[in-house]
Structure 1
């Protein structure tokens, strides 16, 4: 889930800012700062989770996805 950043900075799908960090997250074919990948319902940080879930373009933790 963690990738090395490319030479040209990517834009974070969460905050819209440039990703200039050495590592970033790739989820749902989008790039995220580590701090920006969060559940849209409970705001749980997903950077250290093994999985995250997506529905209608929104990111969820497992608990909120199955609610």
Structure 2
């Protein structure tokens, strides 16, 4: 496949997942990437989503950026 086509398909899929979690505002990107990598059902049960619902935006993982 062409690199341009693969990039287009990736962006299309990622936008779909981010739009699904749009009510979380700037955190929709984080949840969209989680859903893209692990599947949409995983995001609904994730610890990340539970923390965001509580209003906790801190990260104890070295893989996630510092809170904004």
**TM-score, length basis structure 1:** 0.30
More strand by share: 1
RCO (CA 8 Å, sep 6+): is it higher in 1 or 2?
1
Which has more radius of gyration?
2
**TM-score, length basis structure 2:** 0.30
